Structures are given as structure tokens and as C-alpha cells.
Amino acid sequence: MELEKEVKKITLGHETGSGAQCLKCKDKCEGFELHFWRKICRNCKCGLEDHDVQTTTEDDKKIGKLLEDTKYTSLIAKLKTDGVHHYKRNVVTLTNSVAAKKDVAIKAVTYEWTPPVPNQSLAVRYIELLPKEKQPVAGTVGAVYRKKQMAKQLPEHDQDPTKCHELSPNEVKQMQQFVKKYKEEALGVGDIKVPEEMEVQNKEKGASEAGDRGTTAVVGALGNKTAPSKGAAYEDTEGKQTKAQTDGQKGGPRFDK
């Protein structure tokens, strides 16, 4: 009975997005059909992220699994769904502040993800400083961009042996040890501070460590000592700036370091 349940789970997972239209190939693709181990569509050879597949729930599961057994469990739901902890994604919907007329619909913008920080306005400010095409606004190219990031940066088979193809018992054990090790030593969740706050903290840290040869973290790109006048930087919990950017930097928001 247990074996039948496991087989059923694998089958359902393999059928994720089945028949979804390819956003690249359009009508040339008959619909998404996942290749069992190459993680691409058997019909058009494009990836899952290139098809019109709603992956929000699956992404929340992946992040929830990533944060399990770490110091960041406050970011995941206490109760499991389908045996997995879900990430409590910070979705923000903003409406225009001007009172709408009777014949004018209220304009609303929904950010499918914002950094998990207490200050919601600062989180929104950070997102708004990203290039328009990389802002995770529902129904835009920015939302598609984030979906592709999730597929590339956090593939299921990087942390779940059951998603890999024909691993030996020894390989499964080694992978479990590897996952445990990177959770303990490499996993981190960022925080947001305005550059001015980071500069003050760095000065205070430098003063307290006078005479120490270690260098303090520097705000901005490539070691600029002067903080930019505006923008919000996304830094890790140890005060080191991550790949998330201020006004002119490249890339998009990353959940992990």
C-alpha cells in the first residue's frame, strides 16, 4: 500500500504542467510533456519554465523544503501540506491612493514576491528599484522572469534525491549529507536596509574593530566607499551585500545568497 502511494506521488509530480502551451513555440508545440530525466518538454525541447504552467505552489514547496531544519523556519508554514512545509511567500497588493470614480476601476498592482522583512514599505521600495522587466508583478514579464529564476536557481533535484534519476543507496546518502552541509554552512536569507543605515553600521563596526586588519563590508559596487544617495540594498544577515541590487546593478531578486 505504501509503495502504491509513493508511485502515485511520482506519477502526479511527473505530470505537472502536462499539456501547457509553450510560450516560445506557441502552436508548434503540442503541449508540455515532461521528459522523465532531462527536465525538458519532449515535444519542443523547451524547459518547464518556458511553458504556461502555474508553478507558484510547487515553488513554495521547494523553498519550504529548503528552509526545513534551519534557523529560518519562521518563514515557513507550521503545518505541512501534502507532507511538505510551504514557504510563506510575502505577496503584496497595492491600490491607487486616489479615490476611484464610479465608472473608473481601482488600479491594483500585485507583487508575487517581496523580500521577507517586517517593513513592507521598504520591501516594496526595493522591488520598485529593480528594472521594470524584473519586477515580479503578476501577469507581467517580470513574473515570468522570476519563475525562470526559481527553476534555474533552485531545481528540485538539487535537494531532493527522489527527484533524481536512478541514484544508488550510497549516492542518496551522500546527497543527503551534502544538502545538510550546505544548509548549515551556505544557506542564508537576506535583509533590507537603506544605504545610509548600512554606512552608519559599517562605521560603527569599523570603530569597534580599530586596529583589526579585517575590512568592513562596503556599500555599493566594486568597493566604492561612498554610499549611493538613494536605493535599497539587500544584504545578508551578517552584513554582507548579496546579488540583489541597488539602482543600476544587474540581475534580479534572489531568495538565497
The pLDDT assigned to 196 comes to: 75
Assess if residue 185 is contained within a domain. Answer: no
d(CA 250, CA 131): 9
Assess if residue 75 is contained within a domain. Answer: no
Assess if residue 20 is contained within a domain. Answer: yes
pTM for the predicted model, two decimal places:
0.57
| β-bridge mates for residue 26, sequence order | 22
Q: Which residue has the higher pLDDT, 73 or 255?
A: 73
**Which phi and psi (to 5°) does residue 206 adopt?**
-65, -40
Would you tell me how many other CB atoms lie within 10 Å of the CB of residue 255? 23
d(CA 227, CA 37): 47
In the chain, how many domains are there? 1
Parallel, antiparallel, or unpaired for β 191-193 and 108-111?
unpaired
Determine which helix (DSSP H) or strand (DSSP E) holds 122, and give its type and residue range: helix 120-128
The pLDDT assigned to 15 comes to: 64
Grid cell for residue 27: 502552436
Assess if residue 31 is contained within a domain. Answer: yes
CB 189 within 8 Å of CB 89: no
Grid cell for residue 200: 552608519
Assess if residue 32 is contained within a domain. Answer: yes
Assess if residue 39 is contained within a domain. Answer: yes
d(CA 191, CA 103): 41
CB 31 within 8 Å of CB 18: yes
Mean pLDDT of the chain: 73
Assess if residue 37 is contained within a domain. Answer: yes
pLDDT in tens, 170-213: 999 999 999 999 999 989 888 888 887 777 777 777 766 665 55
Grouping H, G, I as helix, E, B as strand and the rest as coil, residue 211 is coil
Return the closest-CA partner of residue 116 out of 190, 186, 187: 190
Range of the domain at 22: 1-53
> Residue 71 pLDDT > 80, yes or no?
yes
pLDDT in tens, 218-237: 333 333 444 444 444 554 44
The identity of residue 90, as a single letter, is N
Assess if residue 16 is contained within a domain. Answer: yes
Parallel, antiparallel, or unpaired for β 108-111 and 92-95?
antiparallel
pLDDT in tens, 106-164: 678 899 889 988 888 899 999 999 999 999 998 899 988 988 888 788 888 888 888 88
